[in-house]
Amino acid sequence: MRYVRVRGPQGVESGRVEDGRVVLDSGASVQPLDPDTLQLPDRYTLLTPFDAPEIWCAGVTYERSRDARVEESAMKDVYTLVYDAPRPELFMKDAMMRRTVGPGAPIAIRDDSAWNVPEPEIGLVLGKAGRIAGYTIGNDVSSREIEGANPLYLPQAKIYAGACSFGPSVLVTHDARAFHITLRITDQWGQIVFEGETSTARMKRSFEELVEWLVRDNPVPQGSILLTGTGLVPPDDFTLQPGQSVEITVPEIGTLVNPVVRASELIAKEQDR
């Protein structure tokens, strides 16, 4: 079952995807609904499925990610060591949704970085005591330039306005599976500038292993999200640009679509409110 949250004529409501429509908790239904992307009629807007108290990320969980970090970094051995080590790389991406947006809202790139990329990932929705309660799509937008200069710059490469998105739904299932992830980036005219695909079957570590390390001696609140790393890395000559759009599709969950802007634009808009 997939669960969503929408803003419509009656305000913000939660609901579930069922038989080609969204059945809201109020009993009303929204249709037509594209079952693959979860695109809704114009009078409705998809939001993040819920507000996550914390969002965490795991890094270097795919061989492709390890190779990309080794190529970009001035300290190459760091990423090989963490890929092979028992302890994974884990870091906090956001808290209280301060830097996170939902479907259709702008994600951002840093003004002080010339090399920025999306990172499509499966997000684990955590229940009590780290139980995996559901799955969503996440985008861990990152500066490869800043992280590559020095691994100690990781927080600046990862944590800033509009650096994260997730949605469009939460999939609740007892069927453990490998998720197929497709990334498509288009320019302002709708032309594809990059596309690729991967599967979580290529991950070095299991979902359960990553969660076990995350909650070890760490009081992660119920409802938090753990993004599990990316296996999709655009080539070194690619960087996100304002006006582009990032689409991440996982058939069981939907399509997460976000336009790209500069982080300074989001800051300015927030200050003007």
pLDDT digits (tens, 9 = 90+) for 84-94: 999 999 999 99
Same domain, 67 and 36: no
Render pLDDT for 210-269 as a digit per residue (tens, 0 to 9): 999 999 999 999 999 999 999 999 999 999 999 999 999 999 999 999 999 999 999 999
pLDDT band of residue 32 (cuts 50, 70, 90) is confident
Mean per-residue pLDDT, 174-183: 90
pLDDT band of residue 64 (cuts 50, 70, 90) is confident
Radius of gyration over every alpha carbon of the chain, rounded to an integer in angstroms? 18
| Neighbouring C-beta atoms of residue 273, cutoff 10 Å | 4
Same domain, 122 and 9: no
- Taking the C-alpha atoms of residue 90 and residue 87, their distance in angstroms, rounded to an integer, is 9
Question: 134, 142, 154: which is closest to 90 by C-alpha?
Answer: 154
Count CA atoms closer than 13 A to 91's CA, side-chain side.
16
pLDDT band of residue 68 (cuts 50, 70, 90) is confident
pTM of the model: 0.96
DSSP label at residue 186? E
pLDDT at 75 exceeding the cut of 70: no
pLDDT at 69 exceeding the cut of 80: no
pLDDT band of residue 74 (cuts 50, 70, 90) is low
Mean per-residue pLDDT, 167-177: 90
Same domain, 123 and 16: no
- Contact 132/115 with Cβ under 8 angstroms? no
Same domain, 117 and 185: yes
Least confident of 55-69, 102-116, 185-199, 241-255: 55-69
Same domain, 137 and 264: yes
Render pLDDT for 80-119 as a digit per residue (tens, 0 to 9): 889 999 999 999 999 999 999 999 999 999 999 999 999 9
Question: pLDDT at position 46, please?
Answer: 96
Question: pLDDT at position 79, please?
Answer: 86
Cis peptide before 35 (omega within 30 of 0): no
Q: Is 167 helix (H, G, I), strand (E, B) or coil?
A: strand
Q: Please give the tally of structural domains in the chain.
A: 2
- Contact 47/56 with Cβ under 8 angstroms? no
> What is the domain-level CATH number for residue 64?
3.90.850.10
Same domain, 42 and 70: no
Question: pLDDT at position 174, please?
Answer: 85
Query: Which range marks the domain in which residue 8 is found?
Result: 2-46
In the chain, the amino acid numbered 241 is Q
**Which pair of tokens denotes residue 236?**
């070194």
Question: pLDDT at position 76, please?
Answer: 62
Question: 33, 26, 24: which is closest to 5 by C-alpha?
Answer: 24
pLDDT at 58 exceeding the cut of 90: yes
